[in-house]
Amino acid sequence: MRRMIPTTFSSKFQGAVSMNALRCYVSEFISTFFFVLAAVGSVMASRKLTAGDVTGPFSVLLPAIANAFALSSSVYISWNVSGGHVNPAVTFGMAVAGRISVPTAMFYWTSQMIASVMACLVLKVTVVEQHVPIYKIAGEMTGFGASVLEGVLAFVLVYTVFTANDPRRGLPLAVGPIFIGFVAGANVLAAGPFSGGAMNPACAFGSAMIYGSFKNQAVYWVGPLLGGATAALVYDNVVVVPAAEDDRGSSTGDATGV
């Protein structure tokens, strides 16, 4: 038994550094870079269009629309390569559900984090008249409340990702990413004025790194990761009937004439 543990870990690590896995990491880098560039850039664009008014409706509406479109596109372009995670919370949920190995998840995280930092760096270098915005908590919210809210938003997002990835639904390839983008846009509209509606630790980390402030950064890690893990466990173990049980149920129904 003791010899099986390193062998299993070794095989998982070898799979995480295979050529196919490297393609997944590159795909995650590209898709995450595009998403963060659009998501964070849309906040900067809204400030430009509204002359710095961060309290008006357009300060939330424009980023929400950008999040919806950008996430749909980012997930779609990497859907058949890496699974289109674009978010450490999604990757964490996949690892908790056993759909990817822990070493692979760590490399996914690395690709996503580097991509987010690079995207925010591009914005800082090109848009010199503005600083890269960071996610902030509204004055009427506590850190704990913001973390819970971000966790609920991540739960909804990751649950939608698992639903869109379910082959038993028989959905066309392009449909899943569209609904994932819709959920992200709705979440930003609902929570943007309160916690920022990040749902994505990589996006929050990249902007904080370039801005130079990690205040309340734990809110955008603890909440989304717990929410993503809970969504994965609920979908795989509570809501969806395992394929084996489904087959047995179908066989029983046929035999009894039901």
Q: How confident is the model at residue 13 (pLDDT cuts 50, 70, 90)?
A: low
Over residues 8-32, the mean pLDDT reads 83
The C-alpha atoms of residue 130 and residue 120 are separated, in whole angstroms, by 12
Q: Which domains does the chain have, with CATH numbers?
A: 19-239 (1.20.1080.10)
**Each residue of 91-148: pLDDT tens digit?**
999 999 999 999 999 999 999 999 999 999 999 999 988 899 999 999 889 999 999 9
The share of the chain scoring above pLDDT 90, in percent, equals 71
The model's pLDDT over 225-241, given as tens digits with 9 standing for 90+, comes to 999 999 999 999 998 86
CA atoms within 13 A on the CB side of 55: 0
Cα–Cα distance between 26 and 105 in angstroms, integer?
14
Tokens of 24: 């997944």
Q: What is the pLDDT of residues 217-226, one digit of tens each?
A: 999 999 999 9
